Amino acid sequence: MAEVLVYVDHVDGAVRKPTLEVLTLARRIGEPVAVALGAGAAATAATLAEHGAVKVLTNEAAELADYLVVPKVDALQAAYQQVSPAAVLLPTSADAKEIAARLALRIDSGIITDAVDVEAGADGPVATQSVFAASFTTRSVVAKGTPVITVKPNSAPVEAAPAAGAVEELSVTFSALATGTKVVSRTPRQSTGRPELTEAAIVVSGGRGVNGAENFGIIEALADELGAAVGASRAAVDAGWYPHTNQVGQTGKSVSPQLYIANGISGAIQHRAGMQTSKTIVAVNKDAEAPIFELADYGVVGDLFQVVPQLTEEIKARKA
């Protein structure tokens, strides 16, 4: 059976969930060979094996952390040459897209980014994408070379599929360009204790209607009652009320949860681009004409300062 390279997104050995989703898709095409790079790479093996990796290629060279993107391209290319896979799949992230692009160019292959599904087809993998702010669904194939595909979070279920997951050291010779862009310092993002925005089953977001950083507490209180992640519109982020890492939309995160609750958000096309594929959409907005209601499965026309706290209390009461 053909092998499929899967790039592993991990933080110090902790595998992030989208990688496990990609393993599910990779198994439709062939046998997943995982490539884990950087500090803690070897520690990823057990989790990857549990989810179908037949082999885990690792490299923990310092260059991988000290320089931007290119060392990882060198390493992934080394893995590609060793394995000659039928496809290369990566979980979408800013880094992964750039790594994928440069690899594709080097191996003279086509690249598809942000797939929401990947299936085996007669002429190689077929990738489904959601485009133009999720108003169209396209199906594409790579016409030349070995398909390189990045897959969005929440595009497939995580499935247990125990495999050998034998760890092998990947030998990498870094290119002259590898040390071109130095990472002078790195400040890890502080954990909020809430689920990752892109991985959460429920996202509760606030927009300009929240009207102040101090008021985001009522959005967080609802999120915590539901075990949800907190999102924000760009208007709320630009106003400095909530961090940019929580922005949902075209230039923020793209989310696809089971439930999305938009509070005081009008529903501009650029915001929709990041949340339109959510399973169930709920909106609270005082303007009955707000475009967000066109998407909503359930909407409340009202003041969020009344509706949201009442909702939070009611959930508490129902749980008790």
Partner 1 sequence: MSLRIVVTVKYVPDATGDRHFADDLTVDRDDVDGLLSELDEYAVEQALQIAENADDAEVTVLTVGPEDAKDALRKALSMGADKAVHVEDDDLHGTDAIGTSLVLAKAIEKAGYDVVISGMASTDGTMGIVPALVAERLGVPQVTLLSEIAVEDGKVTGRRDGDAASEQLEASLPAVVSVTDQSGEARYPSFKGIMAAKKKPVESWDLSDLDIEAEEVGLEGAYTKVESADARPARTAGTIVKDEGEGGKQLAAFLAGQKFI
Site for ligand FAD in 201-230 (CB under 6 A): 207-209
149 or 290: CB nearest ligand FAD: 290
Reduced to 3 states (helix: H, G, I; strand: E, B; else coil), residue 159 is coil
Q: From ligand FAD, partner 1, none, which one binds at residue 26 (CB under 5 to 8 Å depending on kind)?
A: none
Q: From partner 1, ligand FAD, none, which one binds at residue 84 (CB under 5 to 8 Å depending on kind)?
A: none
Segment holding 230, helix H or strand E: strand 229-232
CB 55 → partner 1: shortest distance, Å?
A: 25
**How far out from the chain centre does Cα 116 lie?**
11
**Closest residue to ligand FAD, Cβ-based?**
249
**Close Cβ partners of 314 (under 8 Å, ≥ 6 residues apart):** none
Q: From ligand FAD, partner 1, none, which one binds at residue 288 (CB under 5 to 8 Å depending on kind)?
A: partner 1
Among 138, 166, 169, 217, binds partner 1 (CB under 8 A): 138
174 or 305: CB nearest ligand FAD: 305
Among 2, 119, 145, 240, binds partner 1 (CB under 8 A): 145
Reduced to 3 states (helix: H, G, I; strand: E, B; else coil), residue 5 is strand
Give the range of 1-9, 30-38, 133-141, 269-277 binding ligand FAD by CB under 6 A. Answer: 269-277
Return the ∠ at Cα 153 (arms to 148 and 157), rounded to 5°.
100
Q: From partner 1, ligand FAD, none, which one binds at residue 271 (CB under 5 to 8 Å depending on kind)?
A: ligand FAD
How many amino acids of this chain bind ligand FAD (CB under 6 A)?
A: 28
Does position 252 interact with ligand FAD (CB under 6 A)? The reply is yes
Closest CA to 32 of 9, 8, 5, 2: 5
49 or 116: CB nearest partner 1: 116
**How far out from the chain centre does Cα 137 lie?**
18
CB 238 → partner 1: shortest distance, Å?
A: 9
How far is 292 from 191, CA to CA, in rounded Å? 30
Reduced to 3 states (helix: H, G, I; strand: E, B; else coil), residue 111 is strand
By CB under 6 A, the residues from 286 to 315 that bind ligand FAD are: 286-287, 290, 303-305
By CB under 8 A, the residues from 161 to 190 that bind partner 1 are: 177, 180-189
Amino acid at 192: T
The CB density around residue 71, as the number of other CB atoms within 10 Å, is 27
How far is 187 from 200, CA to CA, in rounded Å? 23
CB 60 → partner 1: shortest distance, Å?
A: 17
How far is 102 from 100, CA to CA, in rounded Å? 6
Query: Taking CB under 8 A as the rule, which mask of x and - marks residues 6-25 in contact with partner 1?
Result: -----x--------------
123 or 289: CB nearest ligand FAD: 289
Does position 174 interact with ligand FAD (CB under 6 A)? The reply is no
Burial 217-240 (b: 16+ CB within 10 A, else e): ebbbbbbebbebbbbbbbbbbebe
159 or 294: CB nearest partner 1: 294
How far is 18 from 22, CA to CA, in rounded Å? 6
Locate 15 and state its tokens: 């595998």
CB 274 → ligand FAD: shortest distance, Å?
A: 6
47 or 92: CB nearest partner 1: 92
How far is 230 from 305, CA to CA, in rounded Å? 17
Question: For binding to ligand FAD (CB under 6 A), which residues are involved?
Answer: 207-209, 233-236, 247-252, 264-266, 268, 270-271, 274, 284-287, 290, 303-305
